[in-house]
Structure 1
Amino acid sequence: MKQNKYDDPDFFDKYSRMARSIGGLEAAGEWHVLRTMLPDMEDKRVLDLGCGYGWHCRYARERGARSVLGIDISEKMIARAKSFNEDAAITYRRAAIEDISFEPGEFDVVISSLVLHYIEDFAGACRKIYESLAPGGSFVLSMEHPVFTAVAAQDWHYGPAGERLHWPVDGYQDEGPRIARFLDSDVVKYHRTLSTIMNALAKAGFRIADVAEPGPSQEALEQYPDMRDETRRPMFLLLAARK
């Protein structure tokens, strides 16, 4: 199932008002860890799958990437990314991740940020990404953590006074679609166990080099004390893999 909520005007407007849409990478809660997992970009050919506004594309160029291709299913996302772009070495293309097809070894680095939990065939995507990478290439991805995706509601269990008692985890082994509520819309996400995710990478041929389940940075906790609950369960899963 290919899903494109971002071309809905109301959904896109709400997304555009999110902190990470306004503040870019520094406003993304996982960025303080994800950036440490990225390889050297100097003279690399980079692919960003689900590029959104193109934040990672521009970051790669700032770090010396030779060329960058950003792929996104949303016409509105591609248009927004292009509106920020004055760099001829960055190209944007509208396409679904499910439909990607590249020459073997076409890229040195593939990045995918918070997109692959929307993709039904994660294992198939891993195989395509592996083939598109040159020997020694890097694949760095972030996705919603299986603890976060297990229950479709993706919300806390509350006490009688509205206090957050705990984060429910149920149906963890029941992999498959979840209809979650995001920006006042029903969105289909795909829950997979941690072992399924890591095995899909390994079976595609990757060597997993780094795994992270980041919470907020200390700086974010000091600036936004309400974020302390984000230390009680993982929201993000970050992986760095090598070909």
Structure 2
Amino acid sequence: MPEDKAFYDNSELLSGYLAHRARPDNPNDTLERPLFLELAGDLTNLDILDLGCGNAAFGKEALLQGARSYTGIEVSQSMVDLARQMLADTSGQVRHESIETWRAQTEQVDLVSSRLALHYVENLESVFQEIYEVLCPGGRVIISVEHPVITSNFESLAEGRRTTWLVNNYFKPGARVHQWLGNQVTKYHHTLEEYFNLVADAGLELKHVRESRPKKSYFLSEEEYERRLRIPLFLLIAACKPR
């Protein structure tokens, strides 16, 4: 994702993104976060590695819950700066590198997380192999990505706020370029089958699959809740390394 590596390093884009994330009923907080935390469960005494950590808000939350250690991997220097500010009063660490170039130290962590980052990576086979290597036996991985029915086609996004979702070219893998926050961004489409096979081929055991079904209690707007019932926005997968 070379053109995306500096995406958040543009100050105007970063400000736009942070404003986007602060909106009421934003999908990250209403759909992805509750399911991710449910799958993560008790974080006490866990060593955690977070691929594509963003501002490391999860890291701070995990450490406050009793995680033993937290290391974030992040390619954007602006996000690294925000993450280090977030973790300033904790033992958490952030490394400035890409998911593609990150290499595991064998059997080092209890939990690998990656939240809404892997759909920016074209070749995921080596990433999942590295995840397997870095996990202790019995360790877990939890990922969230944009759902394949979303990444298959972004044409309906050109209309502005989506009222329809076009699923097209689903079985054609690869790059999908579209406009987001006023700038061009590239995401990579992977089918459900691909994600499940990546887990299995890496030697991991699939435990849970969730498709961001909305819960009304997380929404302020009835209209937005009803809108999110129409199509799964995110896919979450939890797996573990056999003991």
TM-score, normalised on structure 2?
0.90
Q: 1:211, 1:237 within 8 Å by CA — same for their partners in 2?
A: yes
* 1:224 counterpart residue number: 221
Counterpart-to-counterpart distance in 2, 1:15 and 1:157 = 19
Structure 2 equivalent of residue 208 of structure 1: 206
Distance 1:175 1:74, change over 3 A: same
2:30 and 2:218 in contact (8 A); partners too: no
- Amino acid across the alignment from 2:76: S
Q: After superposition, what is the alpha-carbon deviation per residue over 1:39-90, rounded to whole angstroms, capped at 9, x for unaligned? A: 4321111001111111111121122111100110011001111112233420
Deviates more, 1:211-220 or 1:171-180: 211-220
Are 1:15 and 1:21, in contact at CA under 8 Å, matched by a contact in 2?
no
Q: For residues 196 and 187 of structure 1, what CA distance do their matches in structure 2 show?
A: 22
| Candidates 93, 104, 107, aligned match of 2:106 | 104
- CA gap 1:199/1:35 in 2 versus in 1, 3 angstroms: same
Q: Which residue of 2 aligns with 1:6?
A: 8
The root-mean-square deviation of aligned C-alpha atoms, in Å, is 2.4
Unaligned runs of 5+ in 2: none
In 2: Cα distance, 1:112 partner to 1:183 partner: 22
Q: C-alpha distance in 2, partners of 1:14/1:118?
A: 19
The equivalent of 1:145 in structure 2 is 147
Residue in structure 2 matched with residue 38 of structure 1 by the alignment: 40
SS in 2 for 1:30: helix
Q: What are the equivalent positions in structure 2 for 1:130-169 lying under 5 Å apart?
A: 130-153=132-155, 155=157, 164=163, 166-169=164-167
Matching of residues 184-203 of structure 1 within 5 Å: 184-203=182-201
User: C-alpha displacement at 1:200, in angstroms?
Assistant: 0.6
Q: Is this contact kept in 2: 1:54–1:81, CA < 8 A?
A: yes
2:85 to 83, 86, 109: 83
User: What percent of counterpart residues are identical?
Assistant: 31
Whole-angstrom distance in 1 between the partners of 2:162 and 2:58? 37
Which segments of 5 or more consecutive residues in structure 1 lack a partner in the other structure?
A: none
Which amino acid in structure 1 is aligned with residue 17 of structure 2?
Answer: Y
Q: CA deviation at 1:15?
A: 0.8
CA contact (8 A) 1:20 1:28 kept: no
2-side partners of 1:157 and 1:86: how far apart?
Answer: 41
Indicate how the Cα distance of structure 1 residues 194 and 72 shifts in structure 2: closer, same or farther if over 3 A, else same: same
Q: CA deviation at 1:25?
A: 10
| Alpha-carbon separation, structure 1, partners of 2:25 and 2:58 | 13
Q: Measured at CA, do residues 16 and 44 of structure 1 come closer, stay the same or move farther in structure 2, by a change above 3 Å?
A: same
Asked if 1 retains the 8 angstrom alpha-carbon contact of 2:48 and 2:110, the reply is: yes
* Superimposed CA distance per residue, residues 139-168 of structure 1 (whole angstroms, 9 cap, x where no aligned partner): 00100000011113353989xxx993x421
Q: Secondary structure at the match of 1:48?
A: strand
How far apart, CA to CA, are the structure 2 residues paired with 1:35 and 1:154? 30
Matched length: 238
For residues 150 and 233 of structure 1, the distance between their equivalents in structure 2, rounded to whole angstroms, comes to 13
Q: How big is the shift at 1:132?
A: 0.7
